[in-house]
Chain A
Amino acid sequence: MSYQIPKFRHPELPVNELGYTKADYEGSISTLCAGCGHDSISGAIVKACHELSIEPHKIAKMSGIGCSSKAPTYFLGKSHGFNSVHGRMPSVVTGASMANRNMLYLGVSGDGDTASIGMGQFAHVARRNLNMVYIVMNNGCYGLTKGQDSATTDEGSASKKGDPNVYSAIDLCGTALQMGATFVARSFSGDKGQLVPLIKAAITHRGFALIDVVSPCVTFNNNPGSTKSYEFVREHAEATGTVDFVPMRKEITTDYKPGYTHEVTMHDGSSLHLYKLDENLDPFSRRSAINTLEDHRDARSILTGLIYMDKDSQDLHDVLQTSQRPLNALEEGELCPGNNMLENINASLR
């Protein structure tokens, strides 16, 4: 059993604009089961952050409890991290974000942590449009406690030792849309070609960005009969279209591929190119997104790709008009402006 990743890396690894290689964004060796989809998602996060040239110390990895929530140890080893209480990651991120809006908040959660114990927190953080990336590593079972069905297990799906699930499943993308999320996507851990640009887009989006990533549990839920196995997902996934993320720094002309149906300019000036979209889906309409989700649910197919995006998203900081500077950078005089100011405020309310 290896407890460490060897120090050597490919000697010709490309460096990003900060001069870092992908290795600078890696974490410790994974202790998840061999073949766990979560490791692939970790790999996709590493790749996305490296390619976006994000300074590792500007990222905070936030998580709750579960296999998914221990995954942040296995990526971004030089970033900040907070492994919080089960299902309570959103409120911790809310607090952190209010205190310092200059960080990238990367929430990592699972189907149990989000759709069961954390459902209330999830609903409200989506509703408030907190500026964060919320990745659900969704394996449709409680892997850490030996594979019981979770709230996202599809009706009729059976895990390795279980009977077909009798309850209706929570669709996290549908829920997030209902709750007012401004960026909703679904992907598959085994499809980095799709997942990496989605993560980049979610990072660049201003507001609450959910990516529900189907991530097979090889140990308890990768059997015939499961709707979250590698084989089932490969056979039943239908992409809304393909997404290409074009960073602002790159000349768009150099990456231009003809045939895209939408170009979206992101908050920071980078752009998203959406190709060959499902003709029934308007990804900028919540109604269309909900309808398309329902259509695919009826057809028992898994809709992946970018499902909805609000191009004019106003995040919680915009709404609350919070301080641009982190609270820890404010001086005493700014935090306690004094009695005169208080008097003025009181007077204005009389």
Chain B
Amino acid sequence: MKPTDIKNPEYFHKVVDCQYACPAHTPVPEYIRLIAAERYSDAYMINWQSNVFPGILGRTCDRPCEPACRRVRVEEEPVAICRLKRVAADNKDDIRDRFPDIPRRKNGKRIALIGAGPASLTVARDLAPLGYIIDIFDNQFAGGGMMRSQIPSFRLPIEVLDEEVNYILDMGVNATFDIEVTSLKEILDQDYEAVFVGTGAPRGKGLNLPGLEDASAHVYLGIDWLSSVAFEHTDSIGKRVLVLGGGNTAMDCCRTSKRLGGDDVRVVVRSPFEDMKASPWEKEDAMHEGIPIYNNHVPKEFVVEEGELKGMTFEKVEAEYDENGKRSLVPTGEDLVFMEADDVLMAIGQENAFPWIERDLGIEFDKWDMPVVDEVTFQSTNPRVFFGGDSAFGPENIITAVAHGHQAAISIDLLCSGRGVHERPAPGVTLASQKMGVHEWSYDNAVEADQRYVVPLAPLEETLKDRKIEVELGFDPSTGYKEAERCLNCDVQTVFDEVRCIECDACVDICPTDCISFTHNGEEEDLRTRLTGPSNDLAQDLYVSMDLPTTRVMVKDENVCLHCGLCAERCPTSAWDMQKFLYNVTKAGQESAA
């Protein structure tokens, strides 16, 4: 294998599994250390720079970082990254004086943002400090988009949402609410330098089953029903509720139903339990509230008698997988299952809808009627029009929308300053030794064996009575500290200097997880069979040095490295050093600043 090029920032970035998995690449270990040091405001600001909504995401994030956490590979349970983010948000001081100054003299360039969800707000957050004049248009009465209309208050209290949305609206942006934009052409005609479309995926999918017409008074689309609850148009539901679908919207629907009078609330899903799209913790939360999940049930028919919805029938199926892993749901041949229902909520997916975008504006649409959007620049085929969030590539999640927003803001800034939108700024990267003394590090290198801490919940009997009572109470600071200490500091990298190495093997002998080997070089497949420890996770890179005096090379399998620093402590010549790698996605207007 060729020697590893550690100067390429993506090499060490990938070692920081959580940060690498995060769409916005938030420097997770960096803020977790600050939480452990009780520097909550500093931890909050690192998040705020990167993901804009730490308090919101600390409650609602899809957490792609957690399954990626190295702890999953060495132990079992990941660090509770999401809940630690909330610890920072809950315990911070007033941080408004740390926000960027908004120039009173604008730069004269006007940007329109359609929709006031996480993607648009991120664009506003990045561009307002640069002097842009920002006009936001949204059809709801307040900002936040789906975070307001679809996430129930028992998961995201309205105060938390308002606080972080207002941080941005207070940056001197012009927000117009309760307005339905019905024509993109009209907007473009107002001579905006650029228009950003962040209108989400607002259309719920339905199931056109026999009996739907007669039952329609008691059948709702999940996301529409949730927003009608959020905006207080709906405050009750029947005793017996069936929720169709297995995603997070279905979980929000069933839990909300339980709080609005639903007694016998059931989730019915076509797929096996394990294949459900909902996050594992959201399924757990629903079941904890006494909501059963019926899997492998395919809805067949609405049963209506004398004009009244009585329930639904379902066909039982089994999942079979072919050799490519493709799933098919095969009926078991059992009798149809009947379930009683007063109301049915359909939460089987949602899609984009752009009836308000004229098709003659130079914006190309593909065969699925989705705009053609560049995956890096978020520019459409009309150079002035950008898309981001769910409206770009279909439904994802908040953190993805934020990541899109940052990149679109960069593109808009490049466009407005007359540069090409493909001249993307490099990430800001620093690599700094953590050595303080002979065997002293400036990070806490001891590896805690504690298991993941359980987050306390408000009593069920209270939360089920009021949909506005938050269920999760969050970690208190002392539990937050203990959970933070579980972090392995994967951003503190083991950096090897072959010139100093005397090949004494001390690092090989001390490494608790057998990551390090000195052996003759070879092709990766062969090399992996000759390493000190098993090396079977091909997704994890090998760090290969240049040739050493004995013609061998140092090979480190990054897979289960604990970043404990023992290799560097036991190295007599400091050939190993622990160096903190800080990777920041450069934002609009920054010149690759770290």
Contact = CB atoms under 8 A, between A and B. Distances in A.
Interface of A: 1-2, 4-14, 29-30, 33-37, 39-40, 42-43, 189-190, 192, 216, 218-219, 222, 230-231, 234
B562 A6 contact: yes
Contact of B439 (A1, A10, A37, A222): A1
B509 A43 contact: yes
Contacts of A234: 503, 549-550
Interface of B: 73-75, 438-440, 445-447, 449, 502-506, 508-510, 512-514, 533-534, 536, 549-550, 560, 562, 564-566, 569-573
Contact of A230 (B503, B564, B566, B569): B503
Contacts of B560: 8, 10-11
Contacts of B569: 1-2, 34
A30 B507 CA distance: 12
A239 to B, nearest CB: 14
Nearest first, the 8 A-B pairs at minimum CB distance are A35-B572, A6-B447, A43-B509, A1-B439, A12-B534, A218-B572, A10-B533, A35-B504
Contacts of A11: 73-74, 560
Given A8-B74, A190-B504, A39 B562 contact: no
Contacts of B536: 12
Given A11-B74, A11-B560, A192 B533 contact: no
A35 B533 contact: no
A4 B446 contact: yes
A40 B506 contact: yes
Given A2-B564, A7-B449, A8-B75, A35 B514 contact: no
A6 to B, nearest CB: 4
A6 B512 contact: yes
A217 to B, nearest CB: 10
Given A2-B565, A6-B447, A8-B75, A35 B502 contact: yes
Contacts of A36: 506
Contacts, number: 105
B570 A34 contact: yes
A13 B533 contact: yes
Contacts of A5: 510, 512, 566
Contacts of B440: 1
B447 A8 contact: yes
B105 to A, nearest CB: 55
A34 B562 CA distance: 19
Interface of A is mostly: loop
A39 B506 CA distance: 7
Most A CB contacts (10 A, CB to CB) among B505, B536, B549 go to B505
A29 B572 CA distance: 16
A6 B74 CA distance: 11
A69 B510 CA distance: 19
A4 B566 CA distance: 10
A333 B549 CA distance: 66
A36 B571 CA distance: 9
Contact of B506 (A9, A13, A29, A35): A35
A42 B509 CA distance: 8
A37 B439 CA distance: 19
A33 B572 contact: yes
A30 B509 CA distance: 10
Given A5-B566, A222-B502, 16 more contacts: A5-B510, A6-B562, A7-B449, A10-B560, A11-B73, A11-B74, A34-B572, A35-B573, A37-B504, A39-B505, A39-B509, A39-B570, A40-B505, A43-B509, A190-B503, A216-B504
A222 B572 CA distance: 11
A231 B449 contact: no
B476 to A, nearest CB: 26
Nearest to A22: B514
Contacts of A33: 572
Contacts of B510: 5, 29-30, 39
Contacts of B550: 234
Given A8-B75, A33-B572, A14 B534 contact: yes
A36 B506 CA distance: 7
Nearest to B508: A43
Contacts of A9: 512-514
A231 B548 CA distance: 12
Contacts of B439: 1-2, 34
Nearest to B570: A34
A7 B571 CA distance: 21
A39 B439 CA distance: 17
